[in-house]
Structure 1
Amino acid sequence: MIYSKTEKTIETDKLLLRPFKESDANNVSIMCNNYNLYKSTSNLPYPYTLECALTWIASHEQNFELDRKYEFAITDKNSGQLFGAIGISNHKQDKNGEMGYWIGEEFWGNGYGTEAAKAVIEFVFKEKDYHRVYARHFKSNPASGKIMKKCGMIYEGTLKDHIYKNDSFEDVVLYGIINLMR
């Protein structure tokens, strides 16, 4: 993982995690306007319009500058192809943050989520001095949990019927990892 403070980018073997640009909004709205993605996330609206994408992207720079949240576009290092998004909150008082991510359905199963998540965990441990990172997934979306496990995150518990979505309750599975390099 190579972090560029001036560019606000993280480079991995295959990926470049970079700030979103307004020009990404159309691709974001197309990828996020997908029921299969919507049903496995807690915060994405559906339908997901271009306006949703523009509003979301517009909040990123200030959040990053104020150390509130770090959002990155997950892109191919060589072609620039957008695969998805990853972000992490900054709970400064607790020295931790919650990580969340989504990958466009056409790119599922290629390891992009895992590679991006590992890089973001390393970024906040090394650059932002986090003590802990945690993430949650719907029990009905075990693929997201596999990403967490591959990043070294440990299962911490299941919150029964924690989210009400689509007229039913969803169990939420919690994972976390402690920074042992501190």
Structure 2
Amino acid sequence: MRQPIITAEHVILREFIPEDAREVQELAGNYTVARYTLNVPHPYEDGMAESWISTHAEGWEHKKEITYAIILKDTGSLIGAISLMNITGTEAELVYWIGEPYWGNGYCTEAAVKLIEMASSQWGIEDFWAIHLQKNPASGAVMKKNGMHKRDTRTIPDRDGSNCPC
């Protein structure tokens, strides 16, 4: 079964296709984007986007992971990605990134609302959690706007080897 397309006011969520790899590499390969995430590599080398996109169908089929491309409705441009990962029964981790040119417009919040609605109604997921780096308060705002509450604070190694609170 293919992933359903999810439509919101300003964005569309659809499955990634191989042709998206160039845009993924360009957007996620921006160090300013990668530095605020826990799982976007930097540098983002050739072939990484294709490899990442190729894993999505299996995650969907086995109900272990849902990953969507975030598409700007007005232009059809790919602007980021949003996923539910580590799905176990009724629990999942929300993970996302948005390309820097699209920051501050509420697109990620809108995408998260719709993905959470779909996962709740179609997959029975009830408990959503996420981690954000303290140096990225905008990501924390997305979580808060989606009804998430702070559970705890952890320290993890940052890209430069220093300790980074999240």
TM-score (normalizing by structure 2):
0.94
Does the residue aligned with 1:89 lie in a helix, a strand or coil? strand
Contact 2:8 2:114 in 1 (8 A): yes
Q: 2:64 is matched with which residue?
A: 68
The correspondence for 1:55, drawn from 51, 58, 65, is 51
* The 10-residue stretch of structure 1 (141-150 or 161-170) with the greater mean CA deviation from structure 2: 161-170
The correspondence for 2:22, drawn from 19, 26, 29, is 26
List structure 1 runs of 4+ shifted beyond 4 angstroms: none
Paired positions, count? 166
**Any residues of structure 2 matched to 1:1-182 within 5 Å, and which?**
8-93=4-89, 95-159=90-154, 161-172=155-166
Structure 2 unpaired stretches of 5+: none
* Deviation for aligned residue 1:6: 5.1
Cα RMSD of the aligned pairs, angstroms, is 1.4
* Deviation for aligned residue 1:92: 2.8
Amino acid across the alignment from 1:162: I
Contact 1:10 1:18 in 2 (8 A): yes
* Deviation for aligned residue 1:35: 1.0
Contact 2:33 2:99 in 1 (8 A): yes
Cα separation, 2, equivalents of 1:76 and 1:164: 31
Contact 1:87 1:100 in 2 (8 A): yes
Cα separation, 2, equivalents of 1:82 and 1:167: 31
Q: State percent identity of aligned pairs.
A: 36
Cα separation, 2, equivalents of 1:45 and 1:6: 27
Contact 1:32 1:104 in 2 (8 A): yes
Amino acid across the alignment from 1:44: V
Q: 1:179 is matched with which residue?
A: none
* Deviation for aligned residue 1:163: 3.4
* Deviation for aligned residue 1:66: 1.2
Relative distance call for 1:6 and 1:25 in structure 2 (3 A) is: closer
Contact 1:25 1:50 in 2 (8 A): no
Structure 1 unpaired stretches of 5+: 173-182
Relative distance call for 1:153 and 1:90 in structure 2 (3 A) is: same
User: Which deviations, in whole Å up to 9, do the C-alpha atoms of 1:46-88 show, x marking residues without a partner?
Assistant: 1112311000000001111111100000002243111100000
Contact 2:25 2:44 in 1 (8 A): yes
* The 10-residue stretch of structure 1 (53-62 or 146-155) with the greater mean CA deviation from structure 2: 146-155
Please state which structure has a larger fraction of its residues in strand. Answer: 1
Cα separation, 1, equivalents of 2:122 and 2:9: 19
Cα separation, 2, equivalents of 1:91 and 1:20: 19
Cα separation, 2, equivalents of 1:8 and 1:38: 28
Cα separation, 2, equivalents of 1:104 and 1:141: 14
TM-score (normalizing by structure 1):
0.86
